[in-house]
Amino acid sequence: MYIAEMLGITKTFGDLVANDRVDFQLRKGEIHALLGENGAGKTTLMRILYGLYHQDTGTIKIEEKPVDIRSPKDAIANGIGMVTQHFALVPPLSVAENVVLGYTDSFVLNRAAIEEKVGDAAKRFGIHIDPKSLVRHLAVGQRQRVEILKALYRNARILILDEPTAVLVPQEVDALFETLNRLKTEGLSVIFISHKLYEVTQITDRVTVLRDGKLIGTVNTADVNQSALAAMMVGRETFGVTRQTETLGENKVTLQINSICVNNDQGLKALTNISLDVNAGEILGIAGVGGNGQKELAEALCGVRTCSSGSIHLMGEELLGRTPAQFTQAGMGRIPEDRHEGMVADLTVTENLALEHLNEYTKNGVLNHKAIRSQAEKLIDQFQIKAQPNDSVRTLSGGNMQKVLLARVLSRNPKALIVPQPTRGLDVGATEYVRQQLLEQRNRGAAVLLISEDLDEILALSDRIAVIYEGEIVGIMAADEATPERLGLLMSGAVKEH
């Protein structure tokens, strides 16, 4: 018996067929992966199940009964819960208040009673969270737990998780998987979306693959490996880039960071005396577990966050104290970690591609729309962005938004590039493409600072690798001297070489 069935689901947006007669069947007590390239239609299918969109045609059955799901309220009434990447929590409220918000049987909010009820629920589901904590004090992984608890508290028997691990550090991923496995033994069904194939093989029981909105098939996870899944998704098995090992000669320092100190949002010290030189034609990788100052480093190097001391020189020019726009003008390219930052969702792809660079298209105060448009068409083609120039960015799939950002920054041929988590949320093909782009930027002579929590990514691309721990550089080495073990020890704070 299936707890949920989606049969013959079609959903179009204008001319675009996002889901094309898709069948999806979910068993009770299974973890079921939904896999596919960026734009394949995964989120759309799940938004239909959760009542955020309505299918053009097709049927949804819950426990074999046809249901009409018109809103999240209908979905919740049918035992369906969904956790997206952008949490819908109220930061100043407590965990308990957030969990019961919009779902209490009584009008009077008795704080102690609520905390006890939510605390009991947390225990019952094995979710480690203090009901009294304020959400604004919680890390991303903990906020996600609140969202999961919120769904379970509303009696969800089907839990949809759309790229839950994209925002988590490795320890948080382990904790999430533990929770999911426990929930599964209690009969809960989980729909798990991820681009990380090893996660899919690790945690799921079955996998459904979509390509271009169409169902490719559903398989038992035990019967496939990562290459087979990649082949189902994109039609080929092997992915990866080859790093060029020869250096570009002259070892010219492009970006010189000297002893900068930076505070975090809470006003506490996030970076202490960071000094790094990034040469022309070099990728310097910054390895580290998330939350050790990476975010602050990336922001400081683009003028988005102020440094309390130190200096930042780009081609000998001091940038400290300048505005983000002046950093950009001086030749600093930045790909924000959060793709929603740095883009305007309501503007079109064309407009977003020109953003921050309008001066290049302006002559005597007049904007050259034709030039903007033809540049956009060129970039859409070159970066294989699945979108039309006039689509508003809001309607793009996550991965395609990331490509728009990359296209805008990389097409400017910046002298230095700051790239935090460049492939987060990208499918295997797009990941390979972005990595290739970063290598090409290196090969044309850009100084690239790659900040990534993905050790494989660091090892695949970097010429040199530095490790950041608690806001300090604790080690720096040439790529051929780096091993996962050595990096792991530095990343955990067990040793210091610097």
Ligand X SMILES: Nc1ncnc2c1ncn2[C@@H]1O[C@H](COP(=O)(O)OP(=O)(O)OP(=O)(O)O)[C@@H](O)[C@H]1O
Query: Binding residues for ligand X, per CB under 6 A?
Result: 13, 16, 18, 36, 38-44, 386, 395-399
* Nearest in space to 379 (alpha carbons), one of 369, 387, 370: 387
Residue with smaller CB distance to ligand X, 39 or 303: 39
Residue with smaller CB distance to Mg ion, 34 or 455: 34
**Closest distance to Mg ion from the beta carbon of 46 (Å):** 8
**Cβ–Cβ < 8 Å for 128, 145:** yes
Q: Which does 140 bind (CB under 5 to 8 A by kind): Mg ion, ligand X, none?
A: none
**Closest distance to ligand X from the beta carbon of 392 (Å):** 8
Q: HSE (CB half, 13 Å, CA atoms) of 118?
A: 30
Q: Which residue is nearest to Mg ion (CB)?
A: 43
Q: Which does 396 bind (CB under 5 to 8 A by kind): Mg ion, ligand X, none?
A: ligand X
Cα separation of 468 and 474, whole Å? 6
**Closest distance to ligand X from the beta carbon of 9 (Å):** 12
Residue with smaller CB distance to ligand X, 273 or 390: 390
**Cβ–Cβ < 8 Å for 207, 200:** yes
Residue with smaller CB distance to ligand X, 160 or 298: 160
Residue with smaller CB distance to ligand X, 194 or 452: 194
Which residues form the interface with Mg ion (CB under 5 A)?
A: 43, 398
**Closest distance to ligand X from the beta carbon of 50 (Å):** 13
**Closest distance to ligand X from the beta carbon of 425 (Å):** 7
Residue 191, CA distances (Å) to 37, 161, 251 in order: 17, 6, 49
27: which strand partners?
2
DSSP H or E run through 437: helix 428-443
Q: Which does 333 bind (CB under 5 to 8 A by kind): ligand X, Mg ion, none?
A: none
**Closest distance to ligand X from the beta carbon of 205 (Å):** 21
- First-residue to last-residue Cα distance in the chain: 59
For the record, the structure tokens of 148 come out as 């999961």
271: which strand partners?
262
Query: Taking the C-alpha atoms of 411, 404, 452 and 323 in order, what is their torsion angle to the nearest 10 degrees?
Result: 70
Residue with smaller CB distance to ligand X, 404 or 439: 404
Q: Which does 84 bind (CB under 5 to 8 A by kind): ligand X, Mg ion, none?
A: none
DSSP H or E run through 403: helix 398-410
**Closest distance to ligand X from the beta carbon of 422 (Å):** 15
Q: Which does 471 bind (CB under 5 to 8 A by kind): Mg ion, ligand X, none?
A: none
Cα separation of 129 and 290, whole Å? 20
* Nearest in space to 257 (alpha carbons), one of 309, 329, 325, 304: 309
Cα separation of 402 and 420, whole Å? 12
Residue 224, CA distances (Å) to 39, 219, 221, 229, 232 in order: 23, 8, 6, 7, 10
Q: Which does 18 bind (CB under 5 to 8 A by kind): Mg ion, ligand X, none?
A: ligand X
**Closest distance to ligand X from the beta carbon of 82 (Å):** 13
Residue with smaller CB distance to ligand X, 341 or 360: 341
Q: Which does 204 bind (CB under 5 to 8 A by kind): Mg ion, ligand X, none?
A: none
Q: Which does 40 bind (CB under 5 to 8 A by kind): Mg ion, ligand X, none?
A: ligand X
Residue with smaller CB distance to ligand X, 55 or 292: 55
